[in-house]
Amino acid sequence: MLAKRGKLEFPWADTPPPGEAREVAPGLFWARLPLPFRLNHVNVWLLEEDDGWTVIDTGCATPEIIAAWEALLAGPMRGRPVRRVVATHGHVDHIGLSGWMVSRFDADYVGTFAEWMWARVSHMHDVPGSNDAHHSYLVRNGFDDAVAQKLVKSRHRFIDLSSPIPGWITEIRDGETIRLGGRSWRVIVTRGHAFEHASFLDEEANILIAGDHLLPKITPVIAVYEMMPKADPLGDYLESFPSFSDVRPDALVLPSHGTPYRGISERILELREHHDKRLAATVEFLRTPRVPLDLSKSMFPHIEGPDNMGFALGETLAHVNHLVRLGAVADVSAGSGTALYQALR
């Protein structure tokens, strides 16, 4: 059933239940896993091989997701082994069960080097200096000491949503061609949502596995983190769009959240316009000097609770840092312990 939203087209109005899969192209199947977050699902892609399966992304380590995988393995995947696990990027909802699956099937683990390193570092409890860096980042940007300490501790629950990350990887790089499911896919590596996010384009079949980079109804999280507090991920994201210029306008786009769609050019335009509006709003909010946490509350007025405000802070700083890079905003904290930003024009 074809549905439309503006100029986007959605070939399927419903989604496969957990443990079931839908064939979206010959030998390419869509499965959906339940997530324990506000964003309550992740799409994974199953590609049939001569000797088993390739799995793109895995979800995180929860009993519900493991049960869904057991149903998939015994049902649509017909008990055949997983030969290759591919990661679009290193966030926990995409790689949390990679180690479990690689160990279970002695499968190859494929992804970009930076995302493998990100996953290994961000899902360890004892990375030297990480807690102090996170705490300092939160306090500098407006959280009080006690709340910052709680946020540092609460991060561990995300760490526990991952099985051990595989200790090795088969690296893929931008522009390479990889064979998956009897198809040739061009690897498109972009920055913004992640450091080396991988999408996969089958030019012959006109299919793009887009991961989190080009979602149909929501914008991917573009955030600044404590390990790179001066980074400009929003600039990276906006500069990534030409990487998809060779994708035909009627390509079937397979996203990690939401449903498959057609209309990539229109969606990229929507994403550009969204961030242009958010950048303009940020400048307006900074007509008077603001601490980043206070600015976050203006930019995300419906967000409540310190954990959610921590995520909002990262997205706010992405817009602030991009405006600093453009010369539209300046850090006017003058060496004080708390960051303070103001618009320059």
**Tens digit of pLDDT at every position of the chain (345 positions):** 456 656 899 999 999 999 999 999 999 999 999 999 888 999 999 999 999 999 999 999 999 999 999 999 999 999 999 999 999 999 999 999 999 999 999 999 999 999 999 999 887 766 777 889 999 999 999 999 999 999 988 877 778 899 999 999 999 999 999 999 999 999 999 999 999 999 999 999 999 999 999 999 999 999 999 989 999 999 999 999 999 999 999 999 999 999 999 999 999 999 999 999 999 999 999 999 999 999 999 999 998 887 888 899 999 999 999 999 999 999 999 877 899 999 997
**Burial of 168 per CB tally in 10 Å (0-12, 13-18, 19+):** exposed
pTM as predicted: 0.94
For residue 35, tell me if it sits in a domain.
yes
List all residues 6 or more positions away from 224 whose beta carbon is below 8 Å from its beta carbon: 231, 233, 314, 317, 318, 321
DSSP for residue 230: T
Structural domains of the chain, count: 1
For residue 327, tell me if it sits in a domain.
no
List all residues 6 or more positions away from 242 whose beta carbon is below 8 Å from its beta carbon: none
What whole-number distance in Å separates Cα of residue 312 and Cα of residue 304? 10
- Edge-first strand listing for the sheet containing 8-10: 3-5, 8-10, 261-262, 252-255, 207-211, 197-202, 183-190, 177-180
Amino acid at 312: A
For residue 112, tell me if it sits in a domain.
yes
Q: Where residue 29 sits, what CATH number does that domain have? A: 3.60.15.10
For residue 290, tell me if it sits in a domain.
no
Strands 252-255 and 207-211: parallel
Residue with tokens 């384009």: 201
For residue 184, tell me if it sits in a domain.
yes
Helix, strand and coil in the chain, % to nearest 5:
35, 25, 40
Domain that holds residue 82: 3-123+162-281
Q: 10 Å Cβ neighbour count for 258? A: 16
For residue 98, tell me if it sits in a domain.
yes
For residue 215, tell me if it sits in a domain.
yes
Opening angle at CA 8, ends 7 and 10, nearest 5: 145
Tokens of 187: 């690897």
For residue 65, tell me if it sits in a domain.
yes
What does residue 36 show for φ and ψ, rounded to 5 degrees?
A: -90, 40
